[in-house]
C-alpha cells in the first residue's frame, strides 16, 4: 500500500473542491433569497464567499482525516487487539450519539423546545455514517466497518463542534452549511484512500 505525492495531491485537491462545492450548494439552497434577490454580482460574490468558507471547512476535514489515521495506528498498538479497539470505538459512537441529543438539549433548549427537535440531525448523521461504513466494508473487508463508522460519526462530530454551539432548532442553517462539506469531504476521503493505495494488479 503506497500513497505517493501525486496521489496525495490528487486526494487533497479533490477533497477540497468536492467539500467546498457541497457546502456552497447547501448554503445557496438554504438561503436562496439572499443569493438571488440582488442581481448577478450579488449571486457571484456571495457564492465565492460561501465557497471560500466551505473550502476552509474542507481543510478541517482533511486535517481530521489524517489525524485519525495516525490515532488509529496508535490505538491499535495501545490496545494490542483489533477486536478490543473496535469495542472502544463502538462505545464512543454510542456516547457521542447520546451527547449530540440529550446533552445539547440540556445545554441549549428553551422552554418551548422538545427533545425530538434535537434528535433529527444526530439520527440522520448516524444513518449516513452507517451507509458509508457499509460501503467501506463492501469495498475492503468487514474489519473496517466499525473504524469507518467511528470516523464518520465521532470524528465528523468533533470537526463539527464550532457549529454545534448554535441552537439546533432555531438557527440550524449554519449547522447544515458546516456539516455538508465535512460529510462530503470525509466520505470522499474514506472511500477514496483504499482505491489510491490499492495495488495495480488488484481490483
Q: How far is CA 173 from CA 53, 89, 121, 163, in A?
A: 14, 30, 12, 10
Q: Note whether residue 11 is domain-resident.
A: yes
Q: Note whether residue 14 is domain-resident.
A: yes
pLDDT of residue 18: 97
Q: Note whether residue 202 is domain-resident.
A: no
* Domains of the chain: total: 1
**pLDDT by residue, tens only, the chain of 203 residues:** 567 888 899 999 999 999 999 999 999 999 888 888 878 898 999 999 999 999 999 999 999 999 999 999 999 888 888 889 999 999 999 999 999 888 888 877 777 778 888 888 899 999 999 999 999 999 998 889 999 999 999 999 999 988 887 654 455 788 889 999 999 999 999 999 988 887 655 44
Could you tell me the pTM of the whole model?
0.90
* H/E element, 76: helix 40-79
Domain that holds residue 106: 5-197
Q: Note whether residue 203 is domain-resident.
A: no
Cβ contacts of 173 within 8 Å, gap of 6 or more: 30, 31
Helix residue ranges, H only, 80-172: 82-98, 104-108, 120-139, 145-150, 156-164
What size, in residues, is the chain? Answer: 203
Q: Note whether residue 10 is domain-resident.
A: yes
Q: Which three cell numbers stand for residue 65?
A: 482525516
pLDDT of residue 199: 60
pLDDT of residue 203: 45
pLDDT of residue 166: 65
Amino acid at each position: 500500500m503506497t500513497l505517493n505525492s501525486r496521489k496525495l495531491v490528487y486526494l487533497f485537491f479533490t477533497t477540497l473542491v468536492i467539500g467546498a462545492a457541497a457546502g456552497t450548494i447547501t448554503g445557496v439552497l438554504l438561503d436562496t433569497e439572499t443569493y438571488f434577490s440582488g442581481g448577478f454580482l450579488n449571486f457571484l460574490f456571495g457564492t465565492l464567499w460561501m465557497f471560500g468558507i466551505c473550502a476552509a471547512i474542507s481543510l478541517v476535514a482533511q486535517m481530521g482525516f489524517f489525524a485519525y489515521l495516525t490515532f488509529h495506528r496508535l490505538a491499535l498498538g495501545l490496545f494490542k487487539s483489533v477486536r478490543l479497539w473496535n469495542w472502544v470505538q463502538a462505545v464512543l459512537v454510542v456516547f457521542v450519539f447520546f451527547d449530540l441529543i440529550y446533552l445539547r438539549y440540556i445545554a441549549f433548549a428553551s422552554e418551548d423546545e422538545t427533545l425530538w427537535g434535537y434528535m433529527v440531525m444526530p439520527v440522520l448523521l448516524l444513518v449516513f455514517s452507517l451507509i458509508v461504513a457499509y460501503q467501506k466494508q463492501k469495498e475492503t473487508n468487514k474489519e473496517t466497518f466499525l473504524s469507518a463508522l467511528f470516523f464518520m460519526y465521532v470524528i465528523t462530530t468533533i470537526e463539527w463542534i464550532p457549529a454545534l454551539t448554535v441552537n439546533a432548532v432555531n438557527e440550524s442553517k449554519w449547522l447544515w452549511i458546516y456539516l455538508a462539506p465535512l460529510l462530503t469531504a470525509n466520505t470522499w476521503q474514506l472511500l477514496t484512500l483504499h482505491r489510491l493505495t490499492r495495488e495495480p494488479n488488484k481490483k
